Amino acid sequence: MTMDTHSSTNPHEEIVDTTSAKPGHASRWVFAVLGLCLVGGAVYYYTHAAKVAATAAAGAAAAQADRPVPVTIATVLQQDVPIWLEGLGTVTPIATVNVKTLVDGPLISVNFKEGQVVHKGDLLAQVDPRPFQIALHNAEAALVRDSAQLRDARLNLERYRTLRAGNLIAQQQFDDQQALVDQYAGTTQLDQAAIDSAKLNLDYSHIVSPIDGVTGVRLIDTGNIVHAADQTYIVVLTQIDPMAVLFTLPEDDLPRVQSHLAQGKIQAVAFARDGQTKLAEGELGLIDNEVNMTTATIRLKAFFPNKERMLWPSEFVKTRLLLSTKKDAITAPATAVQRGPTGTFVYVVGTDDKVSVQAVDVDSTQGDLAILAKGLQVGQRVVTDGQNQLKPGSKISTRDATAKPSGSAAPAGSAPAVDTTAGSATPARHHGAPAGSAPATGTAP
């Protein structure tokens, strides 16, 4: 007999079917609890991580603040500073000659080599001289003939003079003889002029150098027929020593240059375009008689001995004029001077290797050297590189530069300083100053 498990003796007892309950209801609660746990854990993690990062950043900032800033320093000096003016110019020969023939004929010889140094009077080329020699002989022969006729006419004139004194001939006959003598005299003068012309053409057939100089490229070869009307030259001859340089300066510098030139000679130094290689030393020769209205500049010419041939025609050079020397000037490298909202300043290094800001007045800037009117004392140390990482009180570690700022030495073999507007509170580069001469800029703390 089979027993029904679902049967009950109590008719009012509720029978619960466990097989009909929903299994997903409990699982949703489990996932909800797990999600809350994950969110809480994430919030805790990121909050804790942010605190750790902030603490680490604060520690790094403190460590960075305590870390010395590497900079370059130099010492403020008192020294004599030459005051220079600089202009860009062009090497210009004192004399250039376009050599060509003055007579017509075949060119039978060229007596120079290209690039040869020649002297005044040296034979450069030869035009066939035979036609001019023949013309000379003809003129000489004509002179002999006409001179004989002149002598005979004069003898007859003397005879006529005696006859006329005795009234043996008419006055007209005597006058005709006098006219004949004068005619022959004129003819002999023409003959002499023809001789001189033939001799001159003969000389012109020998083409000689009119100056001391250097020959250029030969433009006509032997065998060509040359004419005095030709536009082509045989060669261009250029004087190399001495040499001149034409350069320009701003018209604002004209009064100072005129004043110093009136007192005596002004030394001039020619440098290559890099501003470092010295080419020659000479002196200022002249100031042009007008100002260029378009560029507001004045042209000047300086003359230089050029035995070493360092100056070459049409070469671009930098020319510097030494106006004066500022005695016992307080100087610092121009790169130490910074510009800020309140003016110019420098970072001064103290005995504890910490920097402070010091306002300065710059009298003028000479290349990479600043002449200071006030603000610094001799022996103080100033920062010349690395200022962008500094603020007042920053500790530094030094990359010590040379004790003497560059550019303070004499110009020989180096780039001398270049003058700027004197008395300016803000250092500024002069027209044509070498690159790198302007003071570094920075922001005032």
* pLDDT score recorded for residue 105: 95
CATH fold for domain 72-90+242-398: 2.40.420
CA–CA distance from 120 to each of 3, 74, 123, 160, 221 (Å)? 152, 57, 9, 56, 22
* Segment (H or E) for 180: helix 171-204
Distance CA(48)–CA(52), nearest Å, equals 6
Is the pLDDT assigned to residue 4 strictly greater than 60? no
Contact 362, 299 (CB under 8 A): no
Helix and strand tally (H, E) in the chain? Answer: 4, 22
Point out the least confidently predicted range of 86-90, 130-134, 251-255, 432-436. 432-436
Buried/exposed code over 86-105 (b: 16+ C-beta within 10 A; e: otherwise): bbebebbbbeebebbbebbb
Q: What pLDDT, on a 0 to 100 scale, did the predictor assign at position 32?
A: 73
Question: What are the phi and psi torsion angles at 215 (to 5°)?
Answer: -75, 150
The domain locations on the chain are 72-90+242-398, 98-237
pLDDT digits (tens, 9 = 90+) for 360-410: 999 888 878 899 988 888 999 999 998 888 888 888 887 655 444 444 444
Reported confidence tier of residue 268, pLDDT bands at 50, 70, 90: very high
Residue among 89, 85, 84, 83 at smallest CA distance from 301: 89
Select 98-237's CATH number: 3.60.15.10, 3.40.50.970, 2.40.50.100, 3.30.365.10.
2.40.50.100
Q: Which residue has the higher pLDDT, 149 or 407?
A: 149
pLDDT for residue 321: 92
Torsion sign across C-alpha atoms 221, 227, 230, 236: positive
Classify residue 435 as exposed, middle or buried by CB count within 10 Å of its CB (0-12, 13-18, 19+): exposed
Distances (CA, A) of 32 to 24, 37, 116, 167, 394: 13, 9, 104, 171, 56
At what angle are helices 171-204 and 130-165 packed, to 10 degrees?
160
The first and second tokens of residue 278, run together, are 């010295």
The answer to whether residues 84 and 316 touch, using CB atoms and an 8 Å cutoff, is no
The whole-model pTM stands at 0.62
Residue 294 has pLDDT above 60, yes or no: yes
